[in-house]
Amino acid sequence: MKRVYNFSPGPSMLPLSVLEQAAAEMTDAYDSGQSVMEMSHRSADFTPIIEKTEAALRALMGIPANYTVLFLQGGASLQFSMIPLNLAAPEPGFPKKKATYVETGIWAKKAAEEGALYADVRVGASSHDRAYRVIPAPPLPDPEDAYYHITLNNTIVGTKWTDLPQTGSVPLVADISSCILSEPLEVSRFGILYAGAQKNLGPAGTTVVIIRDDLIGQAPAWTPRLLRYDIHAAEASRYNTPPCYGIYIIGLVLEWLKGLGGVPAIAELNRHKAALLYAYLDHSKRFHSPVEKSFRSLMNIPFSAAVEEPEQRAKLEARFIREAAQEGLVNLAGHRLIGGMRASIYNAMPLEGVQGLIDFMERFEQNWDRTS
């Protein structure tokens, strides 16, 4: 069976060359006589792998020396708890510290709800009343905020921040799970960046946290040790057994990205891919993009059938998803809470995949009224 074009929002497709290298090294990685899956996380065999992966990430993202890189577990969702626990949770008898969140989608909402368990959370702005199709005007931080949280790219609704909020001395914290390494990002603008790996970095199970050093060590004494950044930083991400194989795959993905020309090169390709698909949607009389143009994501592009009657629209979209899969264009269903369709075109999605989707959509339009 030939490989399909996987438009899943995550876990997403990986570069074919990375998968082939991993397959070739499955039983004997780096002449060690063993798989990375079998290596001790503290061994002389694995140490160069995690160190090389970190060095590659630092180089590609331009991470300053006063930031620590951590490879953790629990996905981005665990960071919804770890961030307020480490930056805003109180010692017994003291009040919670303040934090501002901007709600731009379902994951941003979940982050704020979880943050409120440990911090005095203020949702300073929300685009919920506009179905999250825009990024709202960001509020100024409260001077007493311990941090200010945004979700840089909103996977489900297909929006992204184009202008970062001005937070002054308040640390800006961002979930970059679905846009990490997709285009240049000035790391020094942030206090913490975090990302689940399963979209642009590697397989599910690894989370990357990039944290400014002065923000490490603020967790209250009652914080569980596995949820403290200082514990993980002191042990170079190996306080407990990290997701070793995921870290290895991330390293291969970073080597692949470097070979393409790094982040500037992939950003140019990503903009080209997205422009092609948005141009088609904007000129189509049968399909519609719901996101306002100035906030459109490069990575996640939702769209729907331009049909007013809900039942008829649902049938058309179900047929579209089914027939696309038959042609090797898979995982195009929209999020279960939103419906419609969504094409996630992360770094590893080749231009040919996007063009193949557009070609299929054109053919589907020609057979729009077919009932079977």
Active site residues: 107, 175, 199
Can you tell me which residue has the tokens 């993009």? 289
- Decide: 80 and 170 in contact? Cβ < 8 Å: no
Can you tell me which residue has the tokens 């007013």? 308
177: tokens are 């799970």
263: tokens are 């982040």
Calpha distance 34→51 (Å, rounded): 19
- Decide: 8 and 156 in contact? Cβ < 8 Å: no
Calpha distance 109→135 (Å, rounded): 13
What residues contact 7, with CB distance under 8 A and at least 6 apart?
329, 330, 331, 332, 342, 343, 344, 345, 349, 353, 357
Calpha distance 199→348 (Å, rounded): 9
User: Phi and psi at residue 100, in whole multiples of 5°?
Assistant: -105, 135
Calpha distance 132→297 (Å, rounded): 12
Closest CA to 191 of 261, 258, 56, 100: 100
Calpha distance 160→267 (Å, rounded): 14
Calpha distance 159→133 (Å, rounded): 7
Calpha distance 128→134 (Å, rounded): 9
CA trace torsion 70, 174, 251, 274 (10° rounding): 180
In a 13 Å sphere around the CA of 227, the CA atoms on its Cβ side amount to 20
Q: Name the helix (H) or strand (E) containing 108.
A: helix 106-115
What residues contact 19, with CB distance under 8 A and at least 6 apart?
none
